[in-house]
Chain A
Amino acid sequence: MAEPEVMRVQGVAALAEEQRLVLGLREASPEAVRELCDRFGPKLHWYAAARLLGDAQTAEDVMVEALADAARNIRQFNSRRSTLSAWLYGITRRKLRGEMRRQRRMKSVPVSAQVPLESLSELPDQQDMAARLEAKQQVRALAQALGELEFEVLVLNCIDQLSAREIGRAVGRSERAIHSILHRARQKARERLMRDEAG
């Protein structure tokens, strides 16, 4: 019985932390912007990179724009309607969609998505490289096997353990719809992964 109480206290503490950060951002404090970066930047970048199938540079550009927008427009954040995390994923998602639409219109794949992520001088040993490339191919196959929204919801669930409600806020769907999308996404992912293992 102690566990829910601990979780509740942790939840309240997280909320207080979030409120403190939001207040700092409202005062345009550079320290608050740094804290925003530290707390959310790496995960948002990871999410953007997964959605862009490994295009690290564009993912970073998207994340930087999203965090800067969030810091500048923090007054639009309403803590009653969303958590800061879900709000930030929502902003990043809108920027990502714009970027992906732009790439589709340009009918080209960004150069950074076509080449290995590591620069030649920092090339890891061949075995690591091969494993990484294989993982990259598996992620691409997974993205193709799942619908766009299913892949996105699964990524959000896996990289940041967001709740269904938070994911719903970020992608503009109800909590119930997210449960259903996640269920389908997991089924398709399991089939795809089993096929990879068999192959």
Chain B
Amino acid sequence: MKQVDEQVTELLTATRPELSARWQERVLEKARRPAVRHRRHWVAIAVGAAVVLAGLGLIPFRAEDAKGLLGRAMAAMEEASSVHFAGYGTAPDESSPTGMKMMPERFEFWVSDRAITMRTVAPDGTLVATSGLNLDTNEQWSYGADGGIRYTADLTPVAGPAAVFVSSVSHALLSGSIGQALSSNLSDVRESVSTEVRDGRRVLVVTYAGTLKASRRRVTERFVLTIEEATERLIEMRQYAQAEGNPEELIGHSEVIEYDVPVPADLAPAGVAAVTATLEAEETEKVVRLIMKVGDKVIERAEAARLQ
């Protein structure tokens, strides 16, 4: 058998290609970028983020389920300095044959390593809620139907954990946005990819379809993800559901996905009470807790799993 190994090695040696002159520089350049965040943790989030996450029905991204193109789209998302998502999330709805419906409110979020801003707007254009945290302006705000408040707190002493918190929330928002398509909730998954030209740019349309496992009804789900071929960035995502014997329904739509755009500093309406607060951080092995106080009174707590 040794002889076989030698023969194969000879063949592989004869066909061994040369490396380009710049390959090491390329490794160094890419290695300098921030680490790809660990994708297997669940992020516990307080403040407005939890509400938004629950409302959007987001789930954690599972690395083992990541399929080539979408894995790369996810990586491209993580490499961007900021991402802006806008569209309509999915909510449970027992009256629907699929048990799900598309929420009428339009969500929008912007995330970067330094800031998060989220808002939800009713179909009539009324602001339903907005919340955010900005490490550069030292501001945090949340505003809902009952009014809201804007805190200004010196975040410098807790900049490290606060950045971890922002990263965790950002990560949950981003990964959740495409995680559902990659989750193991579907069985008999069928995948397809086609190429189209949209607005003069070539896009790959990736479709995942399968049967929803944990459903009492027989429901099939279909995710249609549009990826810009040149940049490998996800630019649109649609989620459809179909109950047996019923027409297919659109139940989720991220219609805007933009990259490297500025994160709005504050979307709360004018006249929102502004309070100067203090922010403290507590770090344990597993979580980072941010505690906001006005005087001695704790007014908000936020908790996020540490990024590994």
Contact = CB atoms under 8 A, between A and B. Distances in A.
Interface stretch (B66-74, B145-153, B163-171): B66-74
B23 A33 contact: no
Interface of B: 1, 3-5, 7-9, 11-12, 14-20, 23-24, 26-31, 33-36, 38, 67-69, 71-72, 191, 193, 195, 308
B137 to A, nearest CB: 29
Contacts of B67: 98, 101
A56 B17 CA distance: 6
Contact of A139 (B11, B30, B308): B11
B69 A105 contact: yes
Interface in A30-45: 30, 33-34, 36-37, 41-42, 45
Contacts of A57: 20
Given A64-B26, A97-B68, 7 more contacts: A42-B19, A46-B16, A49-B15, A98-B68, A155-B12, A158-B5, A186-B1
A45 B34 CA distance: 24
Contact of B38 (A30, A56, A71, A76): A76
A167 to B, nearest CB: 13
B19 A41 contact: yes
Contact of B14 (A69, A97, A106, A135): A135
A36 B38 CA distance: 22
A54 B17 contact: yes
B8 A189 contact: yes
Contacts of B12: 46, 50, 139, 155, 158-159
Nearest to B192: A105
Interface of A: 30, 33-34, 36-37, 41-42, 45-46, 49-50, 54, 56-57, 59-60, 63-65, 67-69, 71-73, 75-76, 97-99, 101-102, 105-106, 117, 131-132, 135-136, 138-139, 142, 154-155, 157-159, 183, 186, 189-190, 193
A132 B15 CA distance: 6
A63 B18 CA distance: 13
B171 to A, nearest CB: 14
Contact of B23 (A63, A69, A155, A186): A63
Contacts of B14: 131-132, 135
Given A33-B27, A64-B26, A159-B9, A99 B20 contact: no
A37 B24 contact: yes
B69 A190 contact: no
Contacts of B19: 41-42, 45, 60
Contacts of A34: 24, 28
A117 B27 contact: no
A45 to B, nearest CB: 6
B36 A73 contact: yes
Contact of B17 (A37, A97, A117, A142): A117
A72 B34 contact: yes
List the 5 closest A-B pairs by CB distance, nearest first: A68-B30, A56-B17, A98-B68, A135-B14, A71-B31
B81 to A, nearest CB: 17
B72 A60 contact: no
A60 B20 contact: yes
A154 B7 CA distance: 12
A105 to B, nearest CB: 4
A132 B7 CA distance: 14
B20 to A, nearest CB: 6
Contacts of A190: 1, 3-4
A71 B308 CA distance: 15
A50 B68 CA distance: 20
Contacts of A72: 30-31, 33-36
Task: Identify which of B24, B27, B29, B308 gathers the most chain A CB atoms within 10 Å of its CB.
Answer: B27
A76 to B, nearest CB: 7
Task: Identify which of B11, B14, B20, B69 gathers the most chain A CB atoms within 10 Å of its CB.
Answer: B11
